Structure 1
Amino acid sequence: MEKRRIEWVDCAKGIAIILVIIGHTVNNGKYGSNLRGMIFSFHMPLFFILSCMTFKCSENVEQYKEKTIRAFKHLVTPAICVFGLEIIIECSRNINLLFDLNYWKQEAYCLLFASGVEVEFNGFKVRGIGIPWFFFALFIGRIIFDYLHLNFEEKQLGILSAIICTIGIFFGNTQWLPFSLDIALAIMPFFYCGYKLKKVDVKHWALKKLFIWSIVWISTLYITFPDYNNWTYLELAMRRYNLFPICYLTAVAGTMMVIEFSVLMCNKLNKIVKPIMYVGKNSLYLLCIHAMEYNWYKIWYIENHQFYSAIKRTIVDLLIFIVFMCVRNIINKKVRKDVSL
């Protein structure tokens, strides 16, 4: 039996993934920088929090092994596929790269660190893998939290998450670890928040809580991001943990704000937000498409018009996403039909 999905969770993810695309586009001037900071202050933590909220922790070692294998297939495999496709496209444009040992050394290090941005290691500059860093961090972070849940008492999870987070931030400020492990450690509090959120009735007094969380988010964001010229907000891929733990409070407050807004939208405008819920349900596919979009960069980019570019970029990514999902559904129906025969 298929697990019944939570509509407001899909709605929140749908909103967040669209904000991801916009946040990766706008960054210039006062308005662009401010909008980017507002989005980046919570957009990735939201996915980590909701991921653990909908995740059922393992009850024994066998379950833990099974969940780890499934998570690897669901998260790491797509990331490696995106990475492989990038190499294939790049080599097809320059066939000489196939015989360039330095190129393959660079790509090997790139996959090893799986960092969203460039890493310096032992005097060697390793290019960033880009968006797939998120898949590695989510996979490793969640299996670590699941392990903690399996081996420690619930009252110890909060303290352990804080300690592990501190270790991750330490490495983020000194030497970044392979497979974005330092980020996976640093995001433990977000998984803990998602775990505790399971017991919270977010639908009760949604409008009132939306207002309260909005005030908390705006207030704490202003503390960490007072000047648009300086990107001092939380940025996980860059390992920016400015004014920790205030930036984490901002991330949680922003996430809760989107959650309560999504609850209200699903209650009042359910039919209208159905497309957003569908996008949220399949947000990882859209994220993979977004990771590959430099190949059609010229289609959506409008020089000196970052906001128009953001709108056009979102539309283009969504159109490709729709085509991909249609093809995927056709293939799945054909496979099911063949199996039934």
Structure 2
Amino acid sequence: MNGRLQYIDIAKGLGILLVVFGHNEIVLNEKGELFNIIYSFHLPLFFFIAGLFFKVNGKITELMLVKFDSLIKPYLVTLMIVGAIYVPSHNYSPIRYLAGLVYETENTILAEWAPLWFLPHLWAIFIFSWLLIKVTNLCEINKLLQICVMSFVLLIGILSINCFWEIPIDNTTILDKIFSEHLLRGLPLSLDILLISLFFFLLGFMLKKQVFDFQVKNQYLALSLFGFWFCHYYFNYTMDLSERRYDNLLISTLEAICGIYIVLCFSKLISQYKAIRETLSYIGAGSMFILIFHEFFQLKASGLLSKIFHDYTYFNNVSAFIIACAIPLLIWELVKKNDYLALLWLPLKSNKILKKFIAEKQKKSEVSF
């Protein structure tokens, strides 16, 4: 199983590198074809991969607690620490900061930490996926009905994508204290794009057996490459879920599915080469920390380098990209080596301090008994 799953870590590694690069000035300055290519599939890829490891067995309360520990906890810990530094030093309203943190969307979080919106949104995906699967009995119905249910979910999600986007806010409401431009930009936990995210998550969930037993088929890879190229060349459609953009139901969805399949194929092929395999699977394993910290370090590095090297914009942006990937991995290593930091950022089930505490409690109870 470990050998088969390593290529999925490679896929996560490729995906998180695309996320970081997608937030780099090289991509964002013009928002041209490179932007459209990356954004057409990099987020659906992560939803798809998350769905591969989703288990619907068990109680929803257990699922909520486990995913709170692994997703919401690092979100809250990071932004509480950031807030403790930022709020007093910038004379920022603590009430507004906390309200934005609890609302949990990209537009209510400080710009340097905006990518963290993904974590609470993913938590919501796990919960609503559990509910949808139980209500529709998705695992038991035939394939055609499964496709119909998932397609209906995606269709409703796309049709409603702008229902809660840039809606004027009455300045007497509490929402006006959260959104600075007096415009509502999404629901809490980005629930207004949940149905779109659910589609790609459930796609991974339903195809987990095929993905775990995945073998590259050259004809399908060639077809996916052609389809991906054709869609971008002739239509130039993309998606940007954080900005509530989904250009076309059929084309954008096809681009995302082709992109996911291409990444899986390349990940499987790369897994044959040890040096590249080990590097990318390591990056994939640390993708949580890259997601959390990359934007802050990329923006800071880009600003600092532009002051030092005025005429080397491309060099500055590439260097900022490397720094944004490297420093979060160093933080990850530090957290893994310190059990107290691990309590804050890593799942509790793997923490040595907690295990030791539980073992001592059990020992004392056995002695007293």
TM-score normalised by structure 1 residue count: 0.81
Q: Give the equivalent residue in structure 2 for 1:116.
A: 106
Structure of higher CA gyration radius? 2
CA shift, 1:297, in A, is: 4.6
Q: Give the equivalent residue in structure 1 for 2:222.
A: 211
CA shift, 1:194, in A, is: 0.4
CA shift, 1:282, in A, is: 1.8
AA in 2 matched with 1:45:
P
Residue by residue over 1:138-180, the C-alpha shift from the partner in whole angstroms, topping out at 9 and shown as x without a partner, is 1111221122223322334433333333333344212132220
Tell me, in whole angstroms, the C-alpha distance in 2 between the residues paired with 1:111 and 1:127: 9
CA shift, 1:246, in A, is: 1.8
AA in 2 matched with 1:89:
I
Give me the identity figure in percent: 23
CA shift, 1:305, in A, is: 5.3
Contact 1:165 1:189 in 2 (8 A): yes
Distance of aligned partners of 1:113 and 1:244 in 2 relative to their CA distance in 1, 3 Å threshold: farther
Contact 1:214 1:253 in 2 (8 A): yes
CA shift, 1:127, in A, is: 7.2
Contact 2:290 2:329 in 1 (8 A): no
Deviates more, 1:289-298 or 1:186-195: 289-298
SS in structure 1 opposite 2:114? coil
Distance of aligned partners of 1:112 and 1:186 in 2 relative to their CA distance in 1, 3 Å threshold: farther
Q: Give the equivalent residue in structure 2 for 1:277.
A: 281
Tell me, in whole angstroms, the C-alpha distance in 2 between the residues paired with 1:169 and 1:303: 43
Tell me, in whole angstroms, the C-alpha distance in 2 between the residues paired with 1:316 and 1:16: 17
Contact 2:301 2:320 in 1 (8 A): no
CA shift, 1:206, in A, is: 3.7
Q: Give the equivalent residue in structure 1 for 2:83.
A: 87
Corresponding residue to 1:164 among 134, 141, 153: 153
SS in structure 1 opposite 2:242? coil
Q: Give the equivalent residue in structure 2 for 1:179.
A: 189
Q: Give the equivalent residue in structure 1 for 2:315.
A: 308
Structure 1's unaligned 5+ residue stretches are 98-102, 119-125, 226-231
Contact 1:11 1:276 in 2 (8 A): yes
Number of residue equivalences: 316
Tell me, in whole angstroms, the C-alpha distance in 2 between the residues paired with 1:320 and 1:47: 22
Q: Give the equivalent residue in structure 2 for 1:122.
A: none
Contact 1:114 1:136 in 2 (8 A): yes
Q: Give the equivalent residue in structure 1 for 2:248.
A: 243
Distance of aligned partners of 1:66 and 1:306 in 2 relative to their CA distance in 1, 3 Å threshold: farther
Tell me if 1:221 matches 2:228.
no
Structure 2's unaligned 5+ residue stretches are 165-185, 343-350, 361-369
Tell me, in whole angstroms, the C-alpha distance in 1 between the residues paired with 2:313 and 2:238: 20
Tell me, in whole angstroms, the C-alpha distance in 2 between the residues paired with 1:171 and 1:112: 23
Q: Give the equivalent residue in structure 1 for 2:173.
A: none
Deviates more, 1:154-163 or 1:234-243: 154-163
AA in 1 matched with 2:263:
V
Residue by residue over 1:257-292, the C-alpha shift from the partner in whole angstroms, topping out at 9 and shown as x without a partner, is 0110000110x2133320110110121111111143
Q: Give the equivalent residue in structure 1 for 2:50.
A: 51
SS in structure 1 opposite 2:259? helix
Tell me, in whole angstroms, the C-alpha distance in 1 between the residues paired with 2:301 and 2:335: 21
Q: Give the equivalent residue in structure 1 for 2:74.
A: 78
CA shift, 1:75, in A, is: 0.9
Q: CA RMSD in A?
A: 3.1
Distance of aligned partners of 1:304 and 1:141 in 2 relative to their CA distance in 1, 3 Å threshold: farther
SS in structure 1 opposite 2:244? coil
Residue by residue over 1:224-255, the C-alpha shift from the partner in whole angstroms, topping out at 9 and shown as x without a partner, is 41xxxxxx511110010111232111111101
SS in structure 1 opposite 2:255? helix
SS in structure 1 opposite 2:245? coil
AA in 2 matched with 1:195:
F
Contact 1:116 1:238 in 2 (8 A): no
Distance of aligned partners of 1:160 and 1:80 in 2 relative to their CA distance in 1, 3 Å threshold: farther
Tell me, in whole angstroms, the C-alpha distance in 1 between the residues paired with 2:27 and 2:328: 24
Tell me, in whole angstroms, the C-alpha distance in 2 between the residues paired with 1:10 and 1:212: 24
TM-score normalised by structure 2 residue count: 0.75
Contact 1:21 1:310 in 2 (8 A): no
CA shift, 1:29, in A, is: 6.8
Q: Aligned runs of 1:1-341 on 2, under 5 Å?
A: 6-25=5-24, 26-27=26-27, 33-56=32-55, 58-60=56-58, 62=59, 64-94=60-90, 96-97=91-92, 103-117=93-107, 130-154=114-138, 155=141, 156-175=145-164, 176-200=186-210, 203-225=214-236, 232-266=237-271, 268-293=272-297, 294-299=299-304, 307-332=314-339, 336=352, 339=356
Deviates more, 1:271-280 or 1:163-172: 163-172
Tell me, in whole angstroms, the C-alpha distance in 2 between the residues paired with 1:4 and 1:243: 37
Distance of aligned partners of 1:113 and 1:215 in 2 relative to their CA distance in 1, 3 Å threshold: farther
Deviates more, 1:65-74 or 1:148-157: 148-157
